[in-house]
Structure 1
């Protein structure tokens, strides 16, 4: 016969929740940063003429990609 524990003390549950919360935040930050790096590379690969049609200059690419997170 085996037993399964389904109840954790509140402090144990709190520590487990905090661990997964921190882990999830780190994972989200990594994935979002990776996606934005790909977007920056794609824009940097465009010609100056293509960027001008988009209303961008090379020095404003990073600000454009992060425009929703930073007030630049």
Structure 2
């Protein structure tokens, strides 16, 4: 007796594309949040930055410290 199955262990093309689109959207949201954080920190005065232990040159390094070594 033969056994036939039309199912596959591989995800479908649509499923794969939806996963990639979801991953892209997640990264886009994270990037937008980081941009807002940079803008907020850049709007602070040098004295306010010094109070939180940052200088103007350290803003990008601080915001992106978990993904980039700058």
What's the TM-score bracket when you normalise by the shorter of the two chains? 0.7 to 0.9
CA distance in 1 between counterparts of 2:10 and 2:62 reads 43
Tell me the SS of whatever aligns to 1:70. Answer: coil
* Aligned-pair Cα RMSD in Å: 2.0
Aligned-pair CA distance for 1:27: 0.2
After TM superposition, the structure 1 = structure 2 runs for residues 20-31 of structure 1, keeping only pairs within 5 Å, are 20-31=18-29
Q: How many residues align?
A: 65
- Kindly state the Cα deviation for residue 9 of structure 1 after the two structures are TM-superposed: 4.5
Unaligned residue ranges in structure 2 (runs of 5+): 1-5
Normalising by structure 1, we get a TM-score of 0.76
Give ranges in structure 1 of 5+ residues lacking alignment: 1-7
Corresponding position of 1:71: 69
SS at 2:12 equivalent: helix
**Equivalent residue, structure 2, for 1:18:** 16
Give the secondary-structure state (helix, strand or coil) at the position aligned to 2:33: helix
